[in-house]
Amino acid sequence: MKRTMTRPVRHSMTLHVMRLGLMLASIVLAACESEPVDSPDVARRKATCKQLNEHIFRITPQSRDQLAGRSAADQRKILDQLMAKVPIEDIEQCAAAEPTVIACMQAAPDIASVKSCIPAPKS
């Protein structure tokens, strides 16, 4: 008789632990999903800034030399590695910039032209 009484206790403890585990997992998932989501406009601007960074990598002498003579797939791999090193803060700062400045930089054929697109600091 003693044996039958311990089984329900163990079973209820197992259910309790499983419920607790599921509850904790749902809390963790909810926390992960609650990250702020960019508005469509901000997401578009960030995507434009990522394209700008790729353009800058393509015209910068150091990375241009890394890309020269490589297949398109190898170039993509190198560019992806370079892009992964760009801090998110740089992308966010770029996204906050004036669209005319970004457009100027995207059209720039070299780094000197990119630098000329940057407006003078306001006093």
Q: What is the mean pLDDT of each run of 10 residues along the chain (123 residues)?
A: 53 59 59 71 92 94 91 94 92 92 95 92 79
Rounded Cα distance, 67 and 54, in Å = 12
- The pLDDT assigned to 82 comes to 92
Residue 50 and residue 26 share a domain: no
Say how many C-beta atoms besides its own lie within 10 A of residue 117's C-beta. Answer: 17
CA dihedral (37, 42, 44, 50) positive or negative: negative
- The pLDDT assigned to 121 comes to 83
What is the span of the domain harbouring residue 113? 40-117
Residue 74 and residue 26 share a domain: no
Is the distance from CB of 103 to CB of 52 less than 8 angstroms? no
Structure tokens at 105: 């930089």
Residue 84 and residue 46 share a domain: yes
pTM above 0.75, yes or no: no
| Domain total of the chain | 2
- The pLDDT assigned to 74 comes to 94
- The pLDDT assigned to 36 comes to 75
